[in-house]
Amino acid sequence: MGKIAFIYPGQGAQKIGMGKDFYETKPNARRIFDEADKVLDFDIKNICFEENELINNTKYTQAALVTTCLAITKEVENLGIKPDVAAGLSLGEYAAIVAAHGMTEKEAIVAVRKRGIFMDEAVPTDNPKKAGAMAAVLGMETSKIEELILDIEDVDIANYNCPGQIVITGLKPAVEKAAKVLNESGAKRVIELNVSGPFHSKFLKTAGEKMSVELEKINLTELKIPYVTNVTGEYVSDISKTKELLVKQISSPVKWEQSVRNMINNGVDTFVEIGPGKTLAGFIRKIDRNVKCINISTVDDLDKLKEISL
């Protein structure tokens, strides 16, 4: 067998009920949720398990999603499955660093709670012309998208997800202008995303600066396995680089396709997507159909891992 990667979804994967079956039936997972409740200023179980509108508010989403991913990870590891490398899309990178033993669950949960608040504060809500937006561009070559938006001010690429899916970000008028240009130039579809701001753009630099101060409070520990950073798509084995990369990550494009190709080139043939949804599995199928991707979002999904743990 080749190498195993643990991979974690980003914001947008969250859903009501995520992790509830793990909390109710798995003691290791329950402990992560209970510990999160002690360090957060809101009831994590209400946000994750009960019907509410706050779950899609970035101030709450980030801590809720990372807590869920880390709780599920405990039960995957309990089966004796260990990754050779870890990676996460945007927010998911914090869970990946925990999986690589670079920070504790508690530190990651507290950090992303602050991250969500800082990102929310960076987005203006009282001036429509300064409002942010993001849009997924489907069915167009990456190089052509880059060329077409090059001269459109205040819009950039946010995510290199997979072949045929790029996300653009920026001020709403600029994103709308870019969407029109891309549609007229042959994009299959341009879909505006339901987000509250221009994430992974220069407009989030103030959030990154605030996050830098917060990260200085954390004593990171030596990595036991490498993780892959969104900023470059490269392996990180030196924990001293992590804080700077996490600061840059907030306002830099997410190089997910590059990250996955790098892991495959380094011998990964099995990806275990940990957390709600199957977004990353969908991306990986479009990147390379020859590798396996197993999604673990429910207790029943743990059965999928039996062949790995044999």
Q: Which residues pair with 162 in a beta bridge?
A: 165
pLDDT at 197 (0 to 100): 83
Which residues in the chain come in under a pLDDT of 70?
1, 124-129, 309-310
Residue 194: per-residue pLDDT: 78
Token pair, residue 303, equals: 């059965």
Q: Can you point out the beta strands (E) in 163-208?
A: 165-171, 189-192
* Environment class of 119 (CB within 10 Å of its CB; exposed 0-12, middle 13-18, buried 19+): buried
What is the structure's pLDDT at 213?
97
Number of other residues whose CB lies within 10 A of the CB of residue 291:
17
pLDDT score of 308: 79
Q: What is the dihedral of CA 252, 257, 261, 264, to 10 degrees?
A: 110
Tell me if 3-122+202-309 shares its fold with 128-192.
no
Catalytic residue among 101, 185, 196, 200: 200
**Nearest-CA neighbor of 62 among 286, 260, 249?**
249
Domain 3-122+202-309 of CATH type 3.40.50.620: no
CA atoms within 13 A on the CB side of 123: 27
Question: What sign has the CA pseudo-torsion 170, 171, 172, 178?
Answer: negative
Per-residue pLDDT at 126: 63
Strand, helix or coil for residue 88: strand
Predicted pLDDT of residue 306: 83
Please give the model's pTM, rounded to 2 decimal places.
0.95
Nearest to 228 by CA among 253, 267, 263, 264: 263
pLDDT for 309 equals 64
Domain ranges for the chain, please list them: 3-122+202-309, 128-192
Residues 59 and 250: their CA atoms lie apart, in Å, by 14
Verify whether residue 90 is a known catalytic residue: yes
pLDDT of residue 93: 98
What is the dotted CATH code of the domain comprising 128-192?
Answer: 3.30.70.250
Helical H runs in 26-160? 27-39, 44-49, 58-78, 92-99, 105-121, 142-149
CB 190 within 8 A of CB 167: no
Tell me what pLDDT residue 125 has: 63
Catalytic residue among 90, 196, 251, 259: 90
pLDDT for the residue numbered 137 = 97
pLDDT, residue 123, reads: 77
Annotated catalytic, 101? no
The per-residue pLDDT for 196 is 73
